[in-house]
Amino acid sequence: MDSETWVKTVPAAEARREAAGLTWLAAAPGGARVARVLGTQDGLVLERVRAGTPTAASARAFGAALARTHAAGAEGWGSPPPGTGGDGTLGAAVLPTPRRCPERWGDFYAGYRLLPYLRQARDAGILDAAATRLLERCAGRIADGGLDHDQPALVAGSATGVARVHGDLWSGNVLWASPDGEAVLIDPAAHGGHAETDLAMLHLFGLPHLEEVVRGYREVSPPADGWRERLPLHQLHPLAVHTVLFGAGYAGQLLAAARRVG
């Protein structure tokens, strides 16, 4: 491949899933820039993004564009991008996809994003009985609908009320391109979800000029009141996945988030 391309060496099925997610995100009108898919032969072939330097202005523009990506919507809770053939991925973890989209966010989040990984962590001996009980009580509250909450304004006013989310929006999946530091997204676990999931992931591991990202987002699509207090709620899933993948080092963060959720 030439210097204008980048090849991610992954199995064919994973390349197709990721390509479908990138294409779906890229289709959002006025949304965040996404690395362009050039092919899926012998891995995932993407445009090469030349590294630039993020600025307050480019971060603010990214926040506004991300709000529009979310507002492009999805069919339902947990719905995968067209062409994925089913499951998405989050790092090395496969994300289960509902055969029928749940009617409420709490059902989806507890049943398809929390409990499968809590059980894996328990069965692997990473979580003891007391930790498992705490986390299962937390998941039960979520599943019962007691922690359901509104989407940001643009998503709340959309046809389905479900956001088109990146799903793994940590700082490593936000590239800053030359010459002006425009944000470019890679490596999604795209699905229909809650927009605050992406905001929470950005806060979990940090991002340059994060408050400018938030400012740009809020100018376009204000989140529902209390969204900052809900960050630990939306961070439960990535922390559970990291606990399964990387061990007990993340278990403490997971339990602390669960205590903050209550």
Q: What is the pLDDT of residues 114-124, one digit of tens each?
A: 999 999 999 99
pLDDT value of residue 87: 56
Length, in residues, of the chain: 262
Report yes or no: 187 and 173 within 8 Å, Cβ to Cβ: yes
Predicted TM-score (pTM) of this structure: 0.94
pLDDT value of residue 43: 85
**Stretch among 4-18, 88-102, 119-133, 182-196 having the lowest mean pLDDT:** 88-102
1 falls in which pLDDT band (50, 70, 90)? very low
Per-residue pLDDT at 217 exceeds 80? yes
CA distance 196 to 218: 12
Closest by Cα among 121, 148, 149 to 135: 121
Is 185 strand, coil or helix?
strand
- pLDDT tens-digit series, residues 21-53: 999 999 999 999 999 999 888 788 899 999 999
Q: Count Cβ atoms below 10 Å from residue 60 Cβ, excluding itself.
A: 19
CATH class of 5-261: alpha beta
Prior bond to 179 cis, omega within 30? yes
Domain boundaries, the chain: 5-261
CA distance 34 to 198: 15
Per-residue pLDDT at 54 exceeds 70? yes
